[in-house]
Amino acid sequence: MHAAKDHADVPGAAVPAPPAHRLFAHMPRADQRRWASVYLKGLLTTQGKKSLRRLAASVTPSPTAPQSLQQFVNDSAWRWRPVRAELARWIAEHTTAHAWTLSPVVIPKRGELSAGVHRRFVPALGRTVNCQLAIGAFLSGEHGDLSVDWQLYLPRRWTEDDRLRLRARIPDTAGHDSAAGLCLALADRLAQTTPGTLPVVVHTDGHIDARTVIEGLDARGLAWIVAVPDALPLSLARAADPHRAAGGAVPHPAPEPARTLLRRHTGPHSTAASAPGCPRPGTLPVLLPSPVDPRPALLVGARTTATARPGRIWLTNLPPARHAQALDLICSADAARIGAAETEMGLHDFAGRSYPGWHRHATLVSVASAHRRLGHDLCPAGGGRSRTPGHD
């Protein structure tokens, strides 16, 4: 049943303030825009777990509001991508973004009925969990990492089983793609909705194939900074090889694991510049593997102390003139808690099972997070609990 049939209790007092009014303007019906405002206010004001019942109770005394919110987010046919595109533009207008950040976000789940749920080994936890895997796109800058777009990873069993597709209402346009492919699709959409071309920072975290992402970003002509696995094979750039022969053509050194290169050719007293408060990194010019035209890159191993082995390893194609910028971005990325603000806003709390419902909920969570980070805590005007018709 569509939400339009059960919206007689729309809170009339929940009138969107200007930012929310702009973000929800693409919704075709007035009742959808009002319920979006109610949902948003609930996300911003509800403490603890943000179930639909608790969201409704924090905003309106109407006993039918939980059902109406459920219909709004799961069944009402509003498109989430226009809201996200407008959100990205709004954030870009109100904050200085330094990078686009792409990152996996693991959402633990019970049961097997939520769209895209599967068993996955999570390196950060050191164990296999039942979860959804989302890939988030964030504008990163002076206000931290603000989510503006999402992809939900769908294992093949979810795209090849007609019964599962129907049950989760997965659209025909959504097929199986790798996490790296989802990253690249997000980068394409960011390029269309935000002005200028920012460096793309990719947190792979054991879920995204670094080489595939690097090749895709290179093909798009984008500047990138990608977290890479220890074993990624790279060749030392000739200028950085102290053992190279003098004069004449010198073959490229054989590829070695990234961690090995850093251990052998950088020390605890790296001369690389670093931002105040950021551990001094070990840096090394390297070549990306290619049988035809190896491309230069900078390998960076961030250190936690002056003598510690590098922690995460990063690779960037930013040119030498922008290496200081790259190191600043890597320092920020190493300190970031990507997705933490969205988790606090209820990203993990969606109990619905449908693909459209998850995407609509994630969209509203991103709007709520941006409102809070940019100083718009309460989007509906007036604050307090909204009263519904017949409950005055």
CA 33 to chain centre: 25
Distance from the Cα of residue 196 to its chain's centroid: 19
- Determine the average pLDDT of the residues in 290-306: 75
Judged against a pLDDT cut of 60, whether residue 266 lies above it is answered with yes
Taking the C-alpha atoms of residue 252 and residue 120, their distance in angstroms, rounded to an integer, is: 38
| For residues 159-174, average pLDDT | 95
Query: Domain ranges in the chain?
Result: 97-222, 224-243+250-324
**Residue 384 pLDDT exceeds 50:** no
Residue 1 — very low, low, confident or very high, per pLDDT cuts 50/70/90? very low
- 345-363 exposure pattern, b = at least 16 Cβ within 10 A, e = fewer: bbbbbbebbbbbbbbbbbb
Mean pLDDT comparison of 5-19, 166-180, 366-380, highest-scoring range: 166-180
Mean pLDDT (whole number) for 165-183: 96
Mean pLDDT of 337-345: 94
Q: Using alpha carbons, select from 67, 63, 19, 64 the residue that is nearest to residue 41.
A: 19
Nearest alpha carbon to residue 62 among 1, 2, 6, 5: 6
Look over the chain and give the mean of its residue pLDDT values, rounded to a whole number: 84
pLDDT of residue 16: 40
Q: What is the pTM of this model?
A: 0.86
- Residue whose pair of structure tokens reads 């959808």 in the numeric block: 32
Overall residue count recorded for the chain in this entry: 392
pLDDT digits (tens, 9 = 90+) for 344-359: 999 999 999 999 999 9
Query: Greater confidence, 370 or 382?
Result: 370
pLDDT class of 13 with cuts at 50, 70, 90: very low
- Neighbouring residues of 204: CB distance < 8 A, sequence distance ≥ 6: 104, 210, 213, 226, 227, 228, 229
